[in-house]
Structure 1
Amino acid sequence: EYEPEQFPGLVYRITEPRAAALIFGSGKIVCTGAKNIEMAKLAITKVVSKIREAGIDVPRNYSVEVENIVASSKIDAKLNLEEITFSLENAEYEPEQFPGLVYRISEPRVAFLLFSSGKIICTGARNVSDVETALYKLKERLEGIGIKVKPVINKPENVKA
């Protein structure tokens, strides 16, 4: 799909692995929707092959960098977002604008979206270890204000007590 008046890049959808590539005139390609890093790299390899098949020169050695991992989880609890907003520092909740609470932590630098259903989205991590660390810290902070988190997120090896 290419509709430059709506989006400055071409959207190329891949079915296996299921992902989408956003291809920009600068040569940058962004892979979105892949289930893991390996699938994202495979999707990019397929896109580069298609670009080469179209007769466009792509350097043999190109780099693939993870810039943002989005992870989702669900805890077995209904969340009172207003109560959490007043209990956690760096929490923002404006239900008129967005149905989720935005909670930011600085180390690792990620943002969480918490929904009253218990759904949690973590964004901004650059590696899986940061996702695990951030989820563990969120679990600790929620339990610190009296919210029991299930399933239990085990303490990652890289987190100091």
Structure 2
Amino acid sequence: MTKPVYILNGPNLNLLGQRQPEIYGATTLDDIKALCEQHAASIGLQTAFHQSNHEGVLVDQIQEARVKGCGIILNAAAYTHTSVAILDALLASDLPIVEVHLSNIHQRDTFRHHSFVSKAAKGMICGFGAQGYVLALDALKPLIAPSS
């Protein structure tokens, strides 16, 4: 059995479909999970999908991925712009990482333009809504070690 891609989601993403649909759309996090599972299976990957509103839990999940996963897709939400702890965990993971944002963070508030996650990520996908997760799986696939 191959190791899964950890798809980690930060604070308030559990409210997708309800919170600010003009920015984040009507798609729920459960919809995104199903989309990711279906697409991952179609390209030969497995997923471990998580969401937490708590920074330390996300750090724990990143550390778990270091041992049990083959890569990380991270939508750190607001922690993108504030969390050195998440950055440090990502840097210690030694895994390929793709950063995802539903909205284009560069078209939003100035404070959202800076990402701590980007220093650890191979790349960032933003502004494509839920489809960004599919794009991230496609981007991550060739970066995963064949033995994973």
Bigger fraction of residues in helix:
2
Q: After TM superposition, is the score higher than 0.5?
A: no
Question: Taking structure 2 as the reference length, what is the TM-score of the superposition?
Answer: 0.29
Larger RCO (CA within 8 A; separation ≥ 6): 2
Bigger fraction of residues in strand:
1
- Structure showing greater radius of gyration is 1
